[in-house]
Structure 1
Amino acid sequence: MSQPEIDPDLAFIREAVHAMPIARTLGVEVTALRRGHAELRTPIADAMTFRPGQLQAAAVFAAGDCAAVAAAGTLLEPGSWAATIDGTIKLVAPASGTGLRAVGRVVDAGRLLTTCAAEVYAVDGDAERLCATWLGTARRMTPRLV
């Protein structure tokens, strides 16, 4: 297995994704991070399927969401984070196989809002097939001073 392609300056994004309960539940692993780009892998677990080997749409949405918003987060300074404020998904093929690979990217970055997208691929061995596209908006969040 190859080493993750994580920009060391962006390791805080990987930690933020891995700290999210939904990401832990789904088994999300961040495999690549660079400015404006994030890649994640998610295994297809029986508990997340609606029929044997076919992932439920909510889990596919979550994979796309995590990848796209992680990509948005790569443009932020440490101490800030990106939070989803809206998202939509288009399912184009069954999410079946052994896992998903979600590739997130920034479409347009603003000071407060970032439009981001992800392509989600169903993985089975060496074969990949596009199963969904995700488009949404993330908001820059900062700690509040009291």
Structure 2
Amino acid sequence: MTTEATHSSPQFQPLEQLVLAMPMARTLGLAFRRIVPGAVEVEIPVLEAFCFRPGQLQATAVFAVADFAAVAAAATLLAPGWVNATVDATIKLLAPAQGALLRARGRVVSAGKLLTICAADVYAVSSQGEEVLCATLLGTARNINAAARQPQ
């Protein structure tokens, strides 16, 4: 779980830094594994602190990793000076979130100037690397021109 991410493009380093600076991302142990235009892969370890029964994550952690993946994927298509935030998301839990880690693959469904529709599939990954689809999320991210915001 401490392997290096497979991305190295300097254009996505600010996105990764922004996401990993969020307290929830740090608390979950979120790590980026892949960032390309329109797609992101992130992982979190299965930690007992977030389990409702031994080894099985609560839905809150599953939603969080899916949301981070989907909205970060949407952010990969934003122009410099723009950021985004979740405005809506629906998750469907398909199987128990248990194993060594969760791997979420986010992608852009439809990119717009104001809103981006994004999605993520979340896989429970065993210690042997076997993946089981445990959740899918469809979300909407609001695109915000941070450069145009005036200090108050």
TM-score bucket of the superposed structures, by smaller chain: over 0.9
Alpha carbons 2:110, 2:116 under 8 Å: kept = yes
Equivalences for residues 1-146 of structure 1 within 5 A:
1=3, 3-125=5-127, 126-143=129-146, 144-146=149-151
Identity value in percent? 54
Which structure 2 residue ranges, 5 or more long, are not aligned?
none
In the TM superposition, what is the alpha-carbon distance from 1:2 to its structure 2 partner?
5.3
Give 4+ residue runs of structure 1 displaced > 6 Å after superposition: none
- Quick one: distance in 2 between partners of 1:84 and 1:3? 24
Q: TM-score, normalised by structure 1?
A: 0.95
Which amino acid letter does the alignment assign opposite residue 80 of structure 2? P
Q: TM-score, normalised by structure 2?
A: 0.92
Alpha carbons 2:124, 2:134 under 8 Å: kept = yes
In the TM superposition, what is the alpha-carbon distance from 1:7 to its structure 2 partner?
2.6
Which segment is superposed worse, 21-30 or 76-85?
Answer: 76-85
In the TM superposition, what is the alpha-carbon distance from 1:98 to its structure 2 partner?
0.7
Deviations 1:8-49 (A, max 9, x none): 211111111101111111000011111100110100101000
Which structure 1 residue ranges, 5 or more long, are not aligned?
none
Deviations 1:94-142 (A, max 9, x none): 0000110000000000001000000000011211100000001001112
Q: Cα RMSD over matched residues?
A: 1.1
Alpha carbons 1:6, 1:34 under 8 Å: kept = no
Alpha carbons 1:71, 1:105 under 8 Å: kept = yes
Alpha carbons 1:12, 1:78 under 8 Å: kept = no
